[in-house]
Structure 1
Amino acid sequence: MVVGQADAASDGLLSGSLRRQGYRVRRFASCLELDPQVLQSASLVLVFVSSLAGPSLYAQVGAMLRQASRVGVVPVVEYADQEKAAALLELGCVDYLLAPFSEAQLSALLRRQESASAGEEGFVSCSQAGRRLLAMAQRVAMTRAPILITGETGTGKELMARYIHRFSAAGDAPFIAVNCAAIPEQMLESILFGHEKGAFTGAVSAQPGKFELANGGTLLLDEIGELPLGLQAKLLRVLQEQCVERLGGRKEIPLDVRIVAATNRDLQQEVAEGRFRADLMFRLDVLPLHISPLRERKDDVLPLARRFIRQYAAQDARHELLTEDACRALLAHDWPGNVRELENCLQRALVLRNGLYIQAQDLGLAV
């Protein structure tokens, strides 16, 4: 669906490209002309901002977003009007396109939205916040700059890192994850950077570290806020020099690794309290991604629940197992444990249910 009027060049490119990719295009002169039923059935809405100029722009787009909360709305803005794109993203739009644009840029936008709608790699994103997050993740995946993923425990930070890796790397490129909080400090340096034979007691053979193993691919440093200060200095040097030296070794090994760091801590607060190096935070926080808690993404709760049902009860997945009471209970809960809590809740309900369907009491949620 296209709202507003494009210039002749953009209009021809837009119509031809959309039809070649199998889209049926419907046009409206303004947001005020939209039929709510037609809007609900659209897969994507492109809004040409320049033709809707005026103080009513944000009101028009805001009303459209309220009418179709599950439809991706993408403003098309001129280079001189990029601040409007930022304001519309804050309002609830899922992505934006700068005009003039090429067919490749339009195709990349469509691919991002198709991926978000499909919930690739299990990352469900039916809410506007989720769709914006996946669109941003796909943008940053095109670069090799460090990415910092923040969010509460259980929001899916590692899943997002895998999504970025899958979207950016060749299929055979390695993805290596290290939980900095789960490994004893005395072992973590060797695990990250590797060691040579005889580097310490028990080092009976040389071993590559996680940086070497991730060469050409992605290294996820999960719970980066738990990294000891001593190792933070060495990590900073590796990031700056793009090479690593094994413990007990003298040879510098060149690296080509995408670094994704994840944390549930406020790193700025950690820096202020002296537990995290400011220079390392700035080095990691080049492309920040924040995953909102599930209580702020209620549109994702039921799609996530149904995905977990398909995962854990594939034999019954052809049925709608959630009763209306169960759906209401799921939507009313705040999910302090986020997606992980929801997954555990559905696993438990599938075991405890009486019969085929999941009732509200099977979920075990406080009323």
Structure 2
Amino acid sequence: MIMRLLVVEDDPRLREAIVDTLMLKGHEVCEAPNGVEAIAIVRSQNLDLVLSDINMPGMDGLELLQTIKQEHPWLPVVLMTAYGDVGQAVKAMQRGANDYLMKPFELQELDALLRPFNNDAPVADDSEPVCEALASQQLFQLAQRVAQTDSTVLISGESGTGKEVLARYIHQQSDRRHQPFIAINCAAIPENMLEAMLFGYEKGAFTGAYNAMPGKFEQAEGGTLLLDEITEMDLGLQAKLLRVLQERQVERLGGKKVLDLDVRIVATTNRELADYVAEGKFREDLYYRLSVFPLQWLPLRERKDDILPLAGRLLAHHARKMKRPVPRLMADAEQKLLAHPWPGNVRELDNTMQRALIMQTGPQLFANDFILTPVPKNRQENISVATPVMTEVMVDDGELGNDLRHREVELIVRALKEEPSRKEAADRLGISPRTLRYKMAKLRDEGVDVEAMLVS
């Protein structure tokens, strides 16, 4: 599929090279030398993706990202950063970037990066799901069976479990696999814009509709439409969605022409949908229309056999993007990963692997290379095992105790140097700002002046 792309880069030679490369691939490409001009283009044109540098004068890439996500939350943004500046890349992902690219990069890297956003592009081998746990194997067997039909599928599971991975697997195993797979996150798009994104609109249908735009239903014609986090849709729009699903027809906002649809629907939710129906927050008729074939995606802590294979794949993926050799997980690191309850599921595991790669100092990853996210208090009673993060390590004095203490100091100093504020440094370390202040005071009492180390 031809994509409409915007390239934002202040270096004219590099911008020209990227634009020429993308145009040779058949894409329609706009370009801007800075964030201010980029915003003007975003507001006036219908784009499929923005590819922007981070370090630019005036409005930098992070500010541009923030503005785009506020005004056009559905528009994918990929940020480019200099080789070795991993901290900027991680910060971009935390602020909502869809992906990042390290400069300099090869043509193949750019192709691979755009592939997930191009609905007609072939799927890479490493997108095949990890299903080592018995429960996962059984789930994907069911998914493979329902993929052979056109039945509507409702996938439920906690946030971060990988429900979209399962939805894509169903599409890939179906007869529709050569047609588009279109996903829309109902929770990420403002209520007043979601209807226009789903059903499309004609020019002048509302303020800001400068051009006609096909909706997600039209874009998914012949393929699969994923309605992600569908429970976040308001009741009024649920009624309109129900009519489209029943009639298999859609009409653009401001339009008069009724379009017939041939689309397979997959919906996901992180809530107990039956309870939501009972509370009057979700239409019962839509619930039955969607739950023709329900699938339950278990949390990561209940499929422990998937943890290490997933960790290995994520490590390899991020090491490749950071242009580093893939480190080896040591036994104590594996035990730490297996013991953690992963309240954030695969998304949390992905973040943990990125942090470990940033902190690594050699070809191996040990347990103390992993900074694990604390389990939120409201989740602790529902999770049987929890692993504390950067808590006091009770060890005897000696070589091991000194090594652990030195490692903690190193992590704290690095976070304080690389993050713009104490709060963000604490977030990166997985602790509260108050805990960070306490640790720095305790280290100062022990003769370790962290403040002085920041200046050196």
Name the TM-score, length of structure 2 as normaliser: 0.53
Report matched runs for 1:143-292 at 5 Å: 143-292=149-298
Report matched runs for 1:95-174 at 5 Å: 121-174=127-180
Aligned to 2:341: 334
Whether the 8 Å contact between 2:176 and 2:222 is mirrored in structure 1 is: no
Whether the 8 Å contact between 2:356 and 2:370 is mirrored in structure 1 is: yes
Letter in structure 2 aligned against 1:323? M
Say if 1:138 and 1:268 are closer, same or farther in 2 by CA, change over 3 A: same
Shift of 1:198: 2.5
- The Cα RMSD (Å) is 1.5
User: 2 CA distance for matches of 1:362 and 1:327?
Assistant: 11
Q: Whose RCO is larger (CA < 8 A, sep 6+)?
A: 1
User: 1 CA distance for matches of 2:286 and 2:260?
Assistant: 20
User: 2 CA distance for matches of 1:287 and 1:267?
Assistant: 14
Please give the per-residue CA displacement for 1:281-308, whole angstroms capped at 9, x wherever unaligned: 0000001111000000000111111111
User: 2 CA distance for matches of 1:343 and 1:205?
Assistant: 38
User: 1 CA distance for matches of 2:206 and 2:361?
Assistant: 58
Aligned to 1:357: 364
Q: Secondary structure at the match of 2:365?
A: coil
Aligned to 2:325: 316
Shift of 1:170: 4.5
Paired residues in the alignment total 247
Shift of 1:316: 2.8
User: 2 CA distance for matches of 1:154 and 1:287?
Assistant: 21
User: 1 CA distance for matches of 2:172 and 2:364?
Assistant: 35
Say if 1:298 and 1:268 are closer, same or farther in 2 by CA, change over 3 A: same
Letter in structure 1 aligned against 2:274? Q
User: 2 CA distance for matches of 1:313 and 1:194?
Assistant: 39
Shift of 1:121: 2.4
User: 2 CA distance for matches of 1:172 and 1:248?
Assistant: 31
Shift of 1:264: 0.1
Whether the 8 Å contact between 2:177 and 2:223 is mirrored in structure 1 is: no
- Structure 1 runs of 4+ aligned residues shifted over 3 Å read 169-172
Please give the per-residue CA displacement for 1:163-195, whole angstroms capped at 9, x wherever unaligned: 111111455311111011111111111110011
Q: Secondary structure at the match of 1:316?
A: coil
Whether the 8 Å contact between 2:176 and 2:224 is mirrored in structure 1 is: no
Moved more, 350-359 or 202-211: 202-211
User: 1 CA distance for matches of 2:187 and 2:331?
Assistant: 41
Letter in structure 2 aligned against 1:339? V
Shift of 1:120: 6.4
Identity, % of aligned positions: 60
User: 2 CA distance for matches of 1:129 and 1:253?
Assistant: 41
User: 2 CA distance for matches of 1:156 and 1:304?
Assistant: 11
Please give the per-residue CA displacement for 1:299-320, whole angstroms capped at 9, x wherever unaligned: 0111111111111224534x6x
Please give the per-residue CA displacement for 1:201-240, whole angstroms capped at 9, x wherever unaligned: 2323322111001000011100100001000000000000
Alignment equivalent of 2:355, drawn from 327, 336, 348: 348
Shift of 1:144: 0.9
Letter in structure 2 aligned against 1:125? C
User: 2 CA distance for matches of 1:169 and 1:160?
Assistant: 16
Report matched runs for 1:41-60 at 5 Å: none
Say if 1:177 and 1:200 are closer, same or farther in 2 by CA, change over 3 A: same
User: 2 CA distance for matches of 1:322 and 1:122?
Assistant: 22
Please give the per-residue CA displacement for 1:110-136, whole angstroms capped at 9, x wherever unaligned: xxxxxxxxx962411000001011111
Whether the 8 Å contact between 2:199 and 2:215 is mirrored in structure 1 is: yes
User: 2 CA distance for matches of 1:207 and 1:245?
Assistant: 12
Report matched runs for 1:16-27 at 5 Å: none
Letter in structure 2 aligned against 1:354? T
Unaligned runs of 5+ in 1: 1-118
Letter in structure 1 aligned against 2:281? R
User: 2 CA distance for matches of 1:252 and 1:239?
Assistant: 14
Name the TM-score, length of structure 1 as normaliser: 0.65
Whether the 8 Å contact between 2:204 and 2:211 is mirrored in structure 1 is: yes
Unaligned runs of 5+ in 2: 1-124, 373-386, 389-456
